Structures are given as structure tokens and as C-alpha cells.
Structure 1
Amino acid sequence: MVFSLLAAGALLDQTALASPFLTQLNATTWVIGNDLWNMTQDEKYGTKLWYKGKDLVGDAVGHYTSYNGARNDLAWTSAKIALETEDYIDVQFDAVEGEMHWVIWNDLPGAYQYFINRALPNLGEFRTLWRLDNETFPRGRTDGRPAAGAAGAGSYYTTYADEEGRFAFPHVLTGTYALQAWANGGEIGDVLGRFVEDDIDLSAACEGKDLGELTWQLPEGRNRIFQVGASDRRSLGFKYGGAPYEHGLVAKCPANLTFTVGQSNTEEWCFGQSALGTWSIGFDLSGEELTAAGNRSALLSVSLAGYSQGTSSGIYVNGQGATGRVGNLTTGSIPSDQCLYRSATQAGEWHFFEFPVARALLREGRNTVSFVVERTTLWRGFLWDSIVLEWL
């Protein structure tokens, strides 16, 4: 069930009605509203949004409900008042996928919305939105200064450290901060994860504050088996990574891909994975390496430069049976951003995962790590940063 608040309204030019209403004009056109606003809803789009004597939609598209971007707009087949009280009515619009409800109060310019799912498919996105006349609202300006008396929070500053690891942030607002650092590829592209220092107190105004020497303690005793892609939170180096904007670019990446450590080049791994299929990394382990490893287990580190929900994958070592499955990347469990379906080619929101790999899964000779997309939505999925396997 999805809830939202409509922040726009409309006023009937011709007639002022005393209470919320639903009026059917023909088989696929209805008018809803109250004495403050009204909207004309056709099979897909809500237009003629009258409020204070002005149509707020004008030549724009108006209101619509869709999933997986604008590729699937819901089409309304009928409408009725599902519930009526002294204070409000609940107007129900029906589509194959479910029910869209507009809760219209007597004195509210606008309406509350909720959706009851009946037959929505696997989703990357579900949304209701307004596209309004661009001339409706007053034009203003900003000069970067906070409003008088306004509280500020969530300030974010970025910079690069120099060759000695030194850095500075000028003109920082007072407050309590956390510091994060991560590798930017290049010579330190094998450094995984991030450094975090919390509770840095800058609440008192001053000319500057020296944080002293901060030490990033990296894991010790690990031995790298392979790495695909430099650790830099970006997809640069992979095929199409950093390419010019092109709508739906991830669709050019293959459904199935095989990368062989020591033979394949980084650019043979595609920047994003979305289609149903299997991407495998093949690597060799000698008997000497396995003997030296003893009973040590391995760790698979997966760094994503971004993720758009609607696509899920299973991660397997040497086969796709239950015993070979070491983890999964599942829609709904990973925070989503718009990177792939908005055709980003470098980065969205970064994610980092670690999956233990039992020693018994690895063998002498050829081994594989496979990412198997088991459920997908068009143009949704994984934007790659790096994949690392190492002995613990």
C-alpha cells in the first residue's frame, strides 16, 4: 500500500460545491474535488486542476500513476465513492493492477492518496506524481545564505587528500561531524571499504581545528586471490563505464558474461548487470596455494557503485546448487537509487558487501564465482565498482 499527500488543489470556475464530490462525465472521464479545488481525470491523466481560479496543469501532462518509470501508466476503468462520511469521501479508481484512492475532505485544498495493490509485477519503482504548468509558481532567487533564524543540519563537505594524506575543509559550519575516507582508485585501488571517525566536535566557532594523525587500520594477514575493478566507488575501467549519456545503456551489457582472471582485461567486464543470466569470474588455484591456505576460509567482497531496485541475483562459487550459494543481492534489502534506469555510467549510491566462502568450496584448478540474475526489471540492477576474493 502506497500513501502520498497531494499538495495541489483546484476550484471550480463554474460552480462552487459545498462538499467533496465525484462526477462521471462519460465512460472514461470523471471530475473529483470539493468547493476549493477540482480535477478532471481521464483514462490515464488528471488535468484541469482548478485552484483559486487557475488551471495549475495547463499544457503539462498533469497527474498520473505509473510503475517502472513512465513505461507503465495505470489505466483507469471505473470510479466510485468507496466510503462517504460527514467530513470526507474516499474515491476509488480501478485499474488492472489495483485501486487508487483519493481521500477528499470538506475543507482541504488537495487530497490524501493510497494505493491497494492487486496485480502489480516485480517493481523497480511505483509512483504517483503531478506535472504542472511551469508558470504557476512565483520565480525567486537564492544567494547561498541560510534564511534568517533557520536551523541547518546535514552539511556535507568533500575533498581529496594529497600524497601525504593531508586534507582540509574550508568554511565549515559549526556542529558535530563524522569523517569518512575511501580509496580513489589508482595506486590505492586495492584498498577496500572505508575509514570512519565519528563524533568530531566542531560546535565552537574557531579559526581551524587540527584533527591530528588519523590511522586507517587495514585488515592484516589476508592474501588476494583476484580483484576485478579498482576500488573507487565508480564503474570507471569497465565497458561503458564513464561513457557519454545514452538512454537505457545497461541494455547493451550481455545477459551472460565470462571473465577469466589473468586473461581478460578489466574493460571486458560490463559496467552494469541487469538482464536475466549469469556473469562468471573464472580463476585458477594451484595445489600449492591450497596447501598453503590450509583450513583458512576466503572472503568475497562486492562493492557496488550503485543499485536500482527491481533486480535480484544469487552469488555462487563453483556451481549453482544450494551448497554453492554463498550470498545474494536482493531487491528490497539494498537501498535504491536511480543510477541505472536514469542511465548513469559512473556512480550512484555506494554499497559494500562481504560474503564468507568456505574452504571446502574451493578446489585445485579452475574455480568460478558467478553472479546469477534470477529476477529482473528492465534497466534496473547493479552498477559495478570492484569484486575481490582473498584468503582470510
Structure 2
Amino acid sequence: MRSLAVSLAASLLANVANASPTKKATAPFLTSIGNQTWVIGNDVWNMTQGPQFGVKLYYKDHDCVGDAWGHYVSYNGAADNLVWTSASIVKNGKYKGVPFIDIQFTSDVGDMHWVIFEGQHGAYQYFVNHNLPTLGEFRTLWRLDNTTFPKGRTVDKDGTLPPLSDYIAANKVQDETWLAPDGKGYITKYDWASWVREQDYYGVYGDEFGSWYINPGKDYYNGNQLKQELMVHRESSTGDAVQLNMVHGTHFMVSSADVFPDGKMWGPWLWYLNDGSKPDAAARAKEEFAAWPYAWLDDEAYHARGKVSGRLVLSDGRPAAGAAVFLGDDEPTKTALDMGSTYYYTTYADERGNFEFADVRAATYGLQAWSHGGEIADVSTSLLHNGVAVATGKTTRLGTLAWAVSNRTRLFQVGDFDRYSYGFLYGGAPRQHALVASCPADLVYRVGTSKTADWCFGQTYQGNWTIEFEVAEDPAAAPARQPNLIVSLAGYSSGASSTVWANGHVIGNMTSGSPELQNDPCLYRSATAAGEWRLLEFQFDQSVLQKGLNTVTFQMTRNTTWHGFMWDSIILEW
């Protein structure tokens, strides 16, 4: 069978040089032609791989790359494209009776694998690190023919990609963002970003062809439930249809500069080709999710997995219903969103506070939990439980974990505490550039009268946002208490500073560039629900408050266009 594949591949290569092949190999194959050039594929598709770029992708006798860049792997944006120095078949086997090969392309920093089954429309891919530098961005991607793939689809957005003619140089307003030709709205690739861990399948497609990524595992991605990344877009300089697999990204984060151990594996995921049918891609995604972790992968560490279970109960006796639960670094030195060196797992507790993680790689983790809104939307504290040891084939039962909550008296709360802007005006709206500019410069919110939606999701203009609230008793006659203003930000884009007042007294500042307010690009990159979560607290003297009407004001004293504060929740307690 191997010799037959090679001979057929050789005849195929002669055709690749001129047009689509007239003969097709009957088994998956790797053929070398010249120096650092190879052809890989099977009886369904084939691709010519050069030192950097995979081009001449033939599927159904059509070149799906055309004049586009094709397939490549890079880190630090496009600054460092990997160069392949050799290629070889490292495994030749069968799974459920179907032949497959594992092709390894080597570079000086790691190995890219293509696992190709006979008859498969596409291939599984994974990357194994050996010498990547400390970095923030690492990605694989396809840049494909824009007439073959005019549309894009993620779990959040589905539609036609903007035509290249709309990217008018004079209309550029910031990175990868242009004023639309009709002057109404903007064109930006960030409108096509989406939540990483919520994806079922995503990619680019047309009436006859579809190219999709299906990532069922997701444990190799950096970050937690709030991780969002670019998925698909129009390449503004060439018009290529871009299908982006951002396996380690930073586009909506403060930072993510991670060191990776030798052997860190991203993937496998499935790159899937079809006739452009979304129902077919959805059905294939369901199959892949059910099959993960992949039994065909010959890697002991990959299959060394166990389970973790437990129950979260708040110190006031309530179950932590719906809480977000995260398995990340043990004894963490980074935020949950910034973690990315190894493997990470996310889930949500049920209505009784029970949670379970299945198929967790054997290691020791730190477990974190926080409110995801709903029945515990008032909970401003979070839980950290270190030393969660996972062993192969075992279930680590953590039992009931006690989660301490505040026992202070709450004077008011604006917005659910869930690390998102949900509930506020425009909070969680479809991604669109400059939506924050629709929020007012001045705003008054009256506790007990105003609705949550009367508070806007982001503040970007100089002005005063005031919360009016009543205090029933005379603070001067009450027992000594320490008022504490909790400000939970769903995101923050630098260049905006604010003075915080209570009844005309300055009680704090939210200052651009301060350690707790470093930039994340949420507001100027089309995000409407979250960037990187921040928690600020301002304590002040009890004498500042008075019986009757009181105010807390956020006075923005410095602003930058489309930058500012994205709100999650504001709580005053004593």
C-alpha cells in the first residue's frame, strides 16, 4: 500500500505544478520534491508544503489557496514564521481499520504534526514545543482564496466577510480598523473575535467549499472562561480569507508572556474540509467532541488523565450555584486569564454547587471559583484551593469546599457580580467597534428606582457617573463601621483616569498606568462583555456618609477615544 501511495503521489506531483491533479492517491502520503518542499494528502485532498507556507491546496479538483498565503505557523504575530527543515512519517498505523499516517515537520523550536486518515476530508494537527521562546502569541492558520471562501462563522457571528475594496487607506482609524465607505460604522477584524472555550466549530466557507477548525479539547489554550480571541477575518492587505487558530493569544488581555516546558503539546484539533455546509460541520464537531481525547494518538502523557470532583458551599450556607470553576496553575503567580504554560480546564457548578472535571492531564493544579451571576450574583469574593493532585485513571474527590463570603451589610449593588458587563446598557451586545462611544458623558443611577440597564456598560468620556442611594440610619450614631466600595471591572483600556467621590469627598482614584490598571484592549477592539477582570476596593471613613440621600461619583478626568472602564459590578458595604 505504501509503495502504491508513493507512485501515485509522484504522478500527482507532475500535475500539481500546472493545474489540479488528474490522478489521486488512494492512501495518505508524504512525498518529497526538491529541497524543503513536500506534498501531503490522501485520496480526498493534497497540499504542497514549502519551507514556510503550505500552498496549492487541492480539494474537489479546486485550488483552495490560489494567490493567498496558504498555511503557516508563527509566533509573536507574523514576526516569526516557522521554517520547516525536514519532514517524515513518524507513525504509520490503523485506527478502527482505517489507515493513517502521522507526518512530522520539524523546525528549530518544535514539531508540527499532520495526522491524515485515508478518506479524511482534512487532517488532525498538533504542535509539540521543544524550544519556543517566552512569548504571548502562537498560532497556526490558513489564508485562503477569498472568492472560494467569502464568508466566516464562529459561535457568535456568521456572515459575509467585508470586501477588500472597503478597506480604504484614508479611512483607517487604528490597527486593523477602518471607517466604512458610507461613513456609517466601522470595519474591523475584531468584530469577528469570539470566546475560545465556547467554540463548537469555526472557519470560512462559501457555496461549494468550507474550511473549519474543530477544537474539542481546549485544555492546551491559555486562559480561563473569559478567554476570547480572533477566529476569522479578511486580511486587509491582500484580501485573503483568514482562518486563525490562536492556540496561545493575547488580543484581549493585559499580558501573557509564558515559558513552555519541552514537550508542551497544542492539540490535536481537526482541520475539516467540506462543501460549505454548516450542518455537516456541526455534525462532525459533535463526533469529534465525543471522541476526545483521541485514542489514535500514540502519546503516553496525553493519555495520562484523571478526574476531579467536588462541591462548593458558601459560608452563609448557600450552594455556589452556577459558579465558574477553573483548574489552573498551582500556587498561582498570574491571573487565571494570563495562565498559559501548561494545561487548563473550565467548567461551571450545578444548582447544588457540584462540579466535575473529566479527562484532566495528570499534574497538580490550583482550583479557582468565582460568581458567574445568577443565584450568587451578590458574591464578590472568590475561592482558591491549591494542591489538587490528579493521577492517571483516578478521581480526585475534593469533597465540600467552604467559600468565604462577605458578612458586611450591603448598602447597594449595581450590576451582577460575574466578571462580565451583562445587564448594563449594551453589555454583551454583538461585537462592534466604538460601541462605548454610545454611552453618555454624565449619568445618574438611583438605587431602588433605576434599572440595571440604566447604567451603561462602559465609560469613555470625561464627565460624572453618579450613584444615588439612601442610608436609613444616622452613621454618626451607629456603631463604628468601615465603608468599603468594591469596584469590579469587566475590562479596562488605558488612557482613562477617574477620581472616586463619596458625598463630595475624594475616596480614591482609578489611574491609568497604575499597577492594577494596565491596558487590556477590550473597549477599542470591539469587545462588549469583557476584557481582563480587575477588582478595586476603596475604604473610607464612616463620617463621610449621612442619613438620607448619599452619592458615589466616578468622575472621569482623563479620557482617550474608545478607551475607558468596562463595568461588572459596583458594591458599597460596611
Q: TM-score scaled by structure 1? A: 0.61
Which residue of structure 1 lines up, in the alignment, with residue 493 of structure 2?
Answer: 308
Deviation of 1:148 after TM superposition, in Å, equals 6.9
1:224 to 379, 387, 410: 410
Deviation of 1:133 after TM superposition, in Å, equals 5.9
Which residue of structure 2 lines up, in the alignment, with residue 331 of structure 1?
Answer: 512
**Deviation by residue 1:39-75 (Cα, 9 ceiling, x = unmatched):** xxxxxxxxxxxxxxxxxxxx999xxxx9964679xxx
302 and 377 in structure 1: CA distance in 2 versus 1, 3 angstrom threshold: same
Structure 1: which amino acid aligns with 2:373?
G
Q: Does 1:296 align with 2:478?
A: no
Matches within 5 A, 1:1-392: 6-7=79-80, 69=175, 142-143=269-270, 153-202=341-390, 204-220=391-407, 222-288=408-474, 291-292=477-478, 294-319=479-504, 324-333=505-514, 334-391=517-574
Deviation of 1:288 after TM superposition, in Å, equals 4.5
Structure 2: which amino acid aligns with 1:295?
A
Deviation of 1:338 after TM superposition, in Å, equals 2.0
SS of structure 1 residue aligned to 2:453: helix
Deviation of 1:134 after TM superposition, in Å, equals 8.2
SS of structure 2 residue aligned to 1:169: strand
Give distance in 2, aligned partners of 1:181 and 1:390.
Answer: 22
Give distance in 2, aligned partners of 1:305 and 1:359.
Answer: 28
Deviation of 1:245 after TM superposition, in Å, equals 2.6
Deviation of 1:6 after TM superposition, in Å, equals 5.0
Which runs of 5 or more structure 1 residues have no equivalent in the other structure?
Answer: 9-58, 73-129
**Deviation by residue 1:320-349 (Cα, 9 ceiling, x = unmatched):** xxxx22112222222332211112121121
249 and 133 in structure 1: CA distance in 2 versus 1, 3 angstrom threshold: closer
CA contact (8 A) 1:182 1:194 kept: yes
SS of structure 1 residue aligned to 2:361: coil
345 and 368 in structure 1: CA distance in 2 versus 1, 3 angstrom threshold: same
Deviation of 1:276 after TM superposition, in Å, equals 0.9
- How many residues are paired up? 273
**Deviation by residue 1:169-224 (Cα, 9 ceiling, x = unmatched):** 1111122211111112122111103111123222x32332111211102233x101
CA contact (8 A) 2:176 2:236 kept: no
Q: TM-score scaled by structure 2? A: 0.43
Which runs of 5 or more structure 2 residues have no equivalent in the other structure?
Answer: 1-76, 82-163, 179-234, 246-267, 271-291, 303-339
CA contact (8 A) 2:489 2:568 kept: yes
CA contact (8 A) 1:229 1:266 kept: yes
Give distance in 1, aligned partners of 2:78 and 2:452.
Answer: 47
Deviation of 1:365 after TM superposition, in Å, equals 2.4
291 and 307 in structure 1: CA distance in 2 versus 1, 3 angstrom threshold: same
134 and 70 in structure 1: CA distance in 2 versus 1, 3 angstrom threshold: closer
CA contact (8 A) 1:193 1:352 kept: no
Structure 2: which amino acid aligns with 1:389?
L
Give distance in 2, aligned partners of 1:346 and 1:327.
Answer: 25
Give distance in 2, aligned partners of 1:149 and 1:67.
Answer: 50
| RMSD, matched Cα | 3.6
Give distance in 2, aligned partners of 1:183 and 1:6.
Answer: 39
CA contact (8 A) 1:274 1:378 kept: yes
